[in-house]
């Protein structure tokens, strides 16, 4: 098990503001585990007993709507922290986190993080900045859902996924999402997402390689995202 003070991952999140002494304390009480693809890290309504640091892999963060559909509100990747909001508000999580691929995560108990939040202002400020950024993204999702068409949201999502994850050797977006996942990101039925993806394929804007998606014409996709 790697020690927090020697772990490169902490450079990507708020843990970079902790002192060596604070990191040693965290390292002594954290636990590391492997989460298999499809497994939940935590469920909606669960009371979290700490935060998670993503060492490797990607998970989807979702919320169940009243009509029983999962709305994916974000993808959390290597280097991110998860669960700070529930920890600080001391409320049950209103979100669910499920692994999209095999993940390696570290769990840091609540007591240790709360100690650091109360003693280290740089760490506290960075956690607050991260939470503010998450709220900003949530605001954008709300506006997009209200004002953009499903087709616009799909085009924007494909561009965002390409920007965030890049492409692999097959030149497809380097994250494997099911058609249902894509539908749950853009807030529509799976059948509608499949139909819209097929339309983009017919127009040679994207192509499929198995279930994976390759963008052939990003300029055209950007036009659709802008509503043209």
Please list the pLDDT of the chain residue by residue as tens digits (228 residues). Answer: 678 888 888 888 999 999 999 999 999 999 999 999 999 999 999 999 999 999 999 999 999 888 778 899 999 999 999 999 888 888 999 999 999 999 999 999 999 999 999 999 999 999 999 999 988 988 988 888 889 999 999 999 999 999 999 999 999 999 999 999 999 999 999 999 999 999 999 999 999 998 899 999 999 999 999 988
**Pairs from 185-191 (Cβ < 8 Å, separation ≥ 24):** 185/72, 185/157, 186/150, 186/153, 186/154, 186/157, 187/71, 187/145, 187/150, 187/153, 188/150, 188/153
CATH class, domain 4-145, is mainly beta
The strands making up 81-82's β-sheet, listed across from edge to edge, are 31-35, 103-109, 50-56, 81-82
Instruction: Outline which parts of the chain fall under CATH 1.10.10.10.
Output: 149-226
- Position 145 scores a pLDDT of 85
pTM of the model: 0.89
Instruction: Outline which parts of the chain fall under CATH 2.60.120.10.
Output: 4-145
149-226 architecture in CATH?
Orthogonal Bundle (1.10)
């Amino acid at each position: 098990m790697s020690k927090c003070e020697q772990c490169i991952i902490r450079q990507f999140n708020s843990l970079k503001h902790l002192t060596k002494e604070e990191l040693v304390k965290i390292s002594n009480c954290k636990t590391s585990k492997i989460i298999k693809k499809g497994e939940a890290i935590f469920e909606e309504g669960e009371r979290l007993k700490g935060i998670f640091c993503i060492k490797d892999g990607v998970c989807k963060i979702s919320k169940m709507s009243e009509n029983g559909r999962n709305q994916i509100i974000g993808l959390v990747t290597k280097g991110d922290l998860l669960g700070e909001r529930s920890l600080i508000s001391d409320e049950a999580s209103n979100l669910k986190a499920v692994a999209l691929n095999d993940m390696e995560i570290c769990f840091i108990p609540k007591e240790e993080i709360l100690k650091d939040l109360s003693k280290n202002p740089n760490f506290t400020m960075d956690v607050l900045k991260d939470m503010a950024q998450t709220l900003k993204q949530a605001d954008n999702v709300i506006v997009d859902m209200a004002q953009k068409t499903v087709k616009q949201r799909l085009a924007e999502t494909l561009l965002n996924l390409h920007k965030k994850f890049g492409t692999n050797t097959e030149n497809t977006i380097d994250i494997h999402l099911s058609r249902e996942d894509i539908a749950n990101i853009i807030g529509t039925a799976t059948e509608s997402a499949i139909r819209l993806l097929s339309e983009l394929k017919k127009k040679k804007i994207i192509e499929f390689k198995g279930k994976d998606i390759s963008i052939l014409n990003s300029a055209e996709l950007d036009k659709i995202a802008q509503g043209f």
